[in-house]
Amino acid sequence: MRIAGKTDKGYKRPDNQDRYIAGKLANGTAFGFVADGMGGANGGSVASSHLCRILEECLFQQNDNMAMDSEKTVLDAIDSACSEIYHMSKSDSKLSGMGTTISGVTVKDNLCTVYNIGDSRVYILRSGVLNLITEDHSVVHQLYLQGAITEEEMATHPQKNLITRAVGVRYDVDTDVSEIHLLPGDRILCASDGLTNFVSSSVMAQIMSDDDFYNIPSALIEKALENNATDNITAVVLEY
């Protein structure tokens, strides 16, 4: 398993509210997660950092546990972080309304478990074809599912950046979970919307197919910056 990740604040934002964690445990479980914070002067950074710290700590507490239940570990960590972020936002007016997305994977043997809250995304590249695995929790996606707008209209809709689910906005949150059985050579991309809003799927697929695996996150970010990305940009890539 190869893993690479990078984040960049971009040209327009004064700070970076994106965070990511990625690595491999001694028990053979690999992981990669991207969190995109929101709310308050620095609330987004607090929320995404807090979530990633708790998630990483919980994963490494299971470092040597060969019988580790990855899904339970991740969901318990998200639930704990959600409650803590919510109570922090209620006790400090400067953090009011803060929250964060989370999207990512754990991989053990050939089983990839995918987790998603919000509009950060997980894709799989297989045989040169890039497919979206997660479903955005956003206003525009709901409108699209209802047939109120087209897929093309989603990209320019005035409510494009409004999400319907996030960690910490309420005291609890539902996490979407799915599974993929990986094939040798499969590549997984976990990305914040600062990437996916400014780089097309076809271009991401080309970059994800690059032989220089460890340069892929940098190349994805560079392409988003070339396209005048106005948001923080984060990419984590794993190869089975």
Longest dimension (CA), the chain: 50
Residue 198 per-residue DSSP state? T
125 confidence band (pLDDT: 50, 70, 90): very high
Residue 163 per-residue DSSP state? B
CATH number at residue 234: 3.60.40.10
Residue 188 near residue 124, CB atoms below 8 Å: yes
Identify which of 35-44, 87-96, 106-115 has the greatest average pLDDT: 106-115
Residue 213 per-residue DSSP state? G
Q: What is the pLDDT at residue 116?
A: 98
Domain of residue 64: give its range: 2-239
Determine the angle formed by the axes of helices 43-61 and 70-91, rounding to 10 degrees: 150
For range 21-39, the mean pLDDT: 96
| pTM recorded for the entire structure | 0.94
Closest CA to 81 of 26, 7, 21: 21
pLDDT surpasses 80 at 126: yes
3-state secondary structure of 96: coil
**Total count of domains within the chain:** 1
Query: d(Cα 74, Cα 204) in Å, to the nearest integer?
Result: 27
pLDDT surpasses 80 at 211: yes
pLDDT digits 0-9 by tens, 1-15: 999 999 999 888 888
